[in-house]
Each structure stands twice: as structure tokens, then as C-alpha cells.
């Protein structure tokens, strides 16, 4: 399943409405990234640029111009020209003709002509929308264009009087997902769930973390996907390092392994974390902490509902985690006071979720002014509480030290309550142990 050019055009239509008459919006894709000598990272287009264009090649700029009230807008695409020699080395290009015939541009130009052609498009526009601060080099180019447009005053031209942050509009457009976007995210979630299931079935003591990561990557790759972010495969105390990505240690009998890994399908991400025993059986201490995290996660998912504010699921999770820590003796005192003083941060030091979409940490404001924004249908958020007992934390009994647990799912906000997109991978103690027992 893929988005069609009609889907991208619909987005451009909406953007044109947002920017109003006699305005211009300019958006560039990201640059290719140098990896090491004579080698780049595999290219991935900028999410917001692709969101509007469906164009995945590097060195491209999209321009949307509106005119008088009621007139049609114009969409121009600046891109690389066809070049037989370069295509032999690096692959085919759409070129100028392809930009119009395949990608539905009204006008197309060679990217080398951008500095020349953009001036006429800027002249006498009231407002310029572009992604201010995204790229210093592009900011400098825009400044030069404004200066050149202003220099046309004697000939009756002028640069736009207003310059407005384009991201504020596109980010809000991207925040609430369409039915097709949700379908793509569901596919990504299903593939990622399959990968986590394979990891649970494949793990064994003394296996290397990177070997377990390879099991995930196999499922991603065979389904035409890439990792949506750097995979975390942390055995034992490595699970207490929130962004552990070295994945180069052996998995020990008796330890847990925390896997935070998921794929991207057709530019849409998923994000799953599961924690399970290397030998297939939770110890009493591991089980006790795990069930606290699971209870917190289930309650936080249930709190992810229309009308509740963004931070409410986190508040729900924190109270359950804190109560559980008190019950086990890792914290002492009144639960409400411990929550108020954030004593729980000794063991839970991150938020409970983030927006998810084309980016794994997706765009969209979390607040309106000073207030956390309310959930609306079509938003997708992760729900990921955890507990991490540092291996050198001498304030707690040694039996708890070095245990790190996180459980994460992707949740779609709907009119009928929260819908867990990543439900296909098990997460109760009983389900995990049964799956791992074969």
C-alpha cells in the first residue's frame, strides 16, 4: 500500500489554503549525508518535504505560490536534471519532465536555476513561508533572495513584507493522521511486532546483543523496511542506559534484555519496546518490577483519550510506578508527596510518550500556550513507562540493582477510545514465558 499523487496534492491544496492569497511557501528536502571517504549514508528525504510532494530524491525544493483570492495556486518543483552518466553510477532520476508527469508539478526547473528563478516568484508576494532555522545555509540563501527582490523596487517589485515559520503549519497538518496514514502505520506496527516476536523466540544465553538485533533486521528487511531509529538491544544493566545502541555485549543467563526497535514502512514509523528474560523465565524480582511497569502502561494507555491532556497518561503512570516502588521498598513515604517531589525520577527519568508518524519523534506542538493540548482523534502517541535500577544504586537492596524495564506501544486516539497499533506482540509475564517456551 502506498500513498498516491492525489494524496500529496490534497495536502498541497490544504497548505495553499493555510498560507492565504498572494503568498509563497518554499520547502527544501534534506541534503545527502557524508558517512566516510567516498560513501554517503543511504538517502532518506526530509519528512515534511516528502509529505507535500512524494518526491524522494535529494537536491530538490518545492514552491507553492498563491495569487489573488479565488485563483488556483501554482506548484513548482526544482530538482536534478536527467544525467545519463550520473544515473549509471547512482540511479535513475525523475528529471524535469518526470517532476511534471509523475509528481504532478505545474512547473519544473533544474535545481541549478533556483537562485535565478525564485526572485520572480517572490516579487510582490505579501507573505513568505519557509522553514526558518532548519538549515543555516538555506537561511542565508533566503536572505540573499529577499535582498535581490528588494533591489527590484525601482522597477515596481518588492520582497514579501512578512516572513512566517512554515513548520508551524505543516507540523499541525502532520499531527492528525488520515485513514491512509493510519493504515501505513498499522503495517509498520505489524512488521515490528513480528520482529519482536522473532527476537523472543530466538534469544538464548551467551548470544550477542548484535546477533539478536540481526533477527529484528531480518524481519524489517524481508518486508522492505528499514529501522525507524537506532535499535536498542540492552541486556542486563545495559537496559538502564536509556539510549544504549552499542549492542555489543553477550546476553547473560538470568538477565533481562530490553529491545527498543521498530521499522519504517513507506516513510511511516512504528516504535516498540519489550523487555523479557534471556532464559525465558522471569526471576521474582524481575517479575515484580515488570508487573508494576505493565500496570502503569495499561492505565496510561486507557488514559490516552479524546479530551484528556497530553501529559495526563504520564501522570497516571507516575502514580502507579511510585506506589509500586513504595510497595516493594525501593521508595518510602507518602505516595502523593513522593510524586510531588519527583522522587520517582531515581528510577523513572523520562516522559511516558511522544508523537509518532513520519518521524519516530514526530512533529506537532505538545502545548497550546501554557496548557498541555488535549488529545484529538487521529493523533498517534507512544506510551512507554519504565523502571531502571542503576547497577551502582546502593540505596536499594542488591537484588534489584541492574534491572531495567520499559514497555512501549503505539496508540491511536479514536472516537471509541485508544487503539493499540502494536498489540500483535505479547507483553504479559505469562504470555512472554509461554511464547519463549515454544
384 catalytic per annotation = yes
Over the stretch 310-345, which tens digit does the pLDDT of each residue have? Answer: 999 999 999 999 999 999 999 999 999 999 999 999
Answer whether residue 154 shows pLDDT above 70.
no
d(CA 432, CA 375): 31
Tell the residue number behind the cell numbers 506542538, with chain if given.
365
Answer whether 279's CB lies under 8 Å from 254's CB: yes
336 catalytic per annotation = no
Please give the pLDDT value at position 157: 78
d(CA 337, CA 339): 5
Task: Give the active site residue among 181, 271, 362, 409.
Answer: 271
Percent pLDDT > 70 in the chain is 100
Evaluate the CA torsion angle 195, 234, 268, 356 in order and state its sign: positive
260 catalytic per annotation = yes
Task: Give the active site residue among 57, 384, 409, 410.
Answer: 384
For the chain, the domains span 3-172, 175-435
Q: Cβ atoms within 10 A of the Cβ of 388, count?
A: 23
Q: What's the mean pLDDT in 371-390?
A: 98
271 catalytic per annotation = yes
CB-based contacts of 222, cutoff 8 Å, min separation 6: none
Task: Give the active site residue among 137, 243, 340, 430.
Answer: 243
Q: What's the mean pLDDT in 406-424?
A: 98
354 catalytic per annotation = yes
**pLDDT-based confidence at 23, cuts 50/70/90?**
very high
38 catalytic per annotation = yes
Please give the pLDDT value at position 152: 83
Residue closest to 291 by CA, chosen among 278, 275, 304: 275
Over the stretch 33-85, which tens digit does the pLDDT of each residue have? Answer: 999 998 999 999 999 999 999 999 999 999 999 999 889 999 999 999 999 99
Task: Give the active site residue among 37, 38, 85, 155.
Answer: 38
**pLDDT-based confidence at 153, cuts 50/70/90?**
confident
Task: Give the active site residue among 109, 244, 375, 388.
Answer: 388
Q: Which helix (H) or strand (E) holds 165?
A: strand 162-165
Task: Give the active site residue among 30, 168, 350, 401.
Answer: 350
Answer whether 159's CB lies under 8 Å from 150's CB: yes
Task: Give the active site residue among 65, 408, 409, 410.
Answer: 408
Backbone angles phi, psi at 280, to 5 degrees: 90, 0
pTM: 0.96
408 catalytic per annotation = yes
Over the stretch 220-235, which tens digit does the pLDDT of each residue have? Answer: 999 999 999 999 999 9
Q: Just give the CATH number of 175-435.
A: 3.90.230.10
Please give the pLDDT value at position 345: 98
Q: What's the mean pLDDT in 423-437?
A: 98
d(CA 231, CA 243): 9
Identify the CATH assignment for 3-172 out of 3.40.50.300, 3.40.350.10, 3.40.50.620, 3.30.70.120: 3.40.350.10
Long-range contacts of 230-233 (CB under 8 A, 24+ apart): 231/259, 231/260, 231/261, 232/258, 232/259, 232/260, 232/261, 232/273, 233/209, 233/257, 233/258, 233/259, 233/261
Amino acid at each position: 500500500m502506498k500513498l498516491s499523487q492525489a494524496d500529496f496534492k490534497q495536502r498541497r491544496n490544504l497548505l495553499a489554503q493555510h498560507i492565504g492569497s498572494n503568498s509563497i511557501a518554499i520547502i527544501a528536502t534534506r541534503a545527502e549525508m557524508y558517512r566516510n571517504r567516498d560513501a554517503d549514508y543511504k538517502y532518506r528525504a526530509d519528512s515534511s518535504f516528502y509529505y507535500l510532494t512524494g518526491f524522494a530524491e535529494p537536491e530538490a525544493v518545492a514552491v507553492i505560490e498563491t495569487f489573488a483570492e479565488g485563483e488556483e495556486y501554482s506548484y513548482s518543483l526544482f530538482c536534478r536534471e536527467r544525467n545519463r552518466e550520473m544515473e549509471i553510477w547512482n540511479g535513475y532520476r525523475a528529471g524535469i519532465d518526470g517532476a511534471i508527469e509523475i509528481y504532478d508539478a505545474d512547473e519544473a526547473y533544474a535545481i541549478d536555476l533556483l537562485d535565478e528563478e525564485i526572485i520572480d516568484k517572490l516579487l510582490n508576494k505579501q507573505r513568505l513561508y519557509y522553514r526558518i532555522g532548519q538549515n543555516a545555509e538555506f537561511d542565508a540563501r533566503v536572505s540573499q533572495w529577499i535582498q535581490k527582490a528588494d533591489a527590484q523596487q525601482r522597477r515596481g517589485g518588492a520582497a514579501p513584507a512578512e516572513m512566517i515559520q512554515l513548520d508551524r503549519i505543516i507540523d499541525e497538518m502532520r499531527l492528525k493522521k488520515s485513514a491512509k496514514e493510519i493504515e501505513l502505520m498499522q503495517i509498520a506496527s505489524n512488521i515490528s511486532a513480528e520482529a519482536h516476536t522473532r527476537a523472543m523466540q530466538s534469544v538464548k544465553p551467551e548470544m550477542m546483543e548484535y546477533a539478536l538485533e540481526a533477527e529484528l533486521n531480518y524481519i524489517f528487511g524481508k518486508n522492505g523496511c528499514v529501522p525507524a531509529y537506532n535499535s536498542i538491544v540492552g541486556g542486563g544493566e545495559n537496559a538502564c542506559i536509556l539510549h544504549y545502541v552499542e549492542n555489543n555485549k553477550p546476553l547473560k543467563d538470568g538477565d533481562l534484555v530490553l529491545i527498543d526497535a521498530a521499522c519504517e514502512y513507506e516513510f511511516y514509523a512504528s516504535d516498540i519496546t519489550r523487555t523479557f528474560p534471556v532464559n525465558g523465565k522471569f526471576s521474582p524480582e524481575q517479575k515484580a518490577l515488570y508487573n508494576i511497569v505493565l500496570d502503569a502502561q495499561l492505565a496510561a494507555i486507557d488514559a490516552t483519550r479524546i479530551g484528556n491532556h497530553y501529559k495526563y497518561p504520564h501522570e497516571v503512570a507516575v502514580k502507579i510506578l511510585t506506589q509500586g516502588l513504595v510497595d516493594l521498598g525501593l521508595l518510602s513515604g507518602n505516595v502523593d508527596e513522593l510524586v510531588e517531589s519527583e522522587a520517582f525520577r531515581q528510577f523513572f527519568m523520562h516522559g511516558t510518550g511522544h508523537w509518532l508518524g513520519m518521524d519516530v519523534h514526530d512533529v506537532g506542538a505538545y502545548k497550546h500556550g501554557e496548557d498541555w493540548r488535549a488529545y484529538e482523534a487521529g493523533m498517534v502517541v507512544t506510551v512507554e513507562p519504565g523502571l531502571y535500577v542503576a547497577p551502582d544504586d546502593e540505596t536499594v537492596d542488591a537484588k534489584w540493582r541492574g534491572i531495567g524495564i520499559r514497555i512501549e506501544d503505539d496508540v491511536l486516539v479514536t472516537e471509541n477510545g485508544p487503539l493499540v497499533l502494536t498489540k500483535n506482540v505479547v507483553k504479559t509475564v505469562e504470555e512472554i514465558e509461554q511464547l519463549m517456551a515454544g
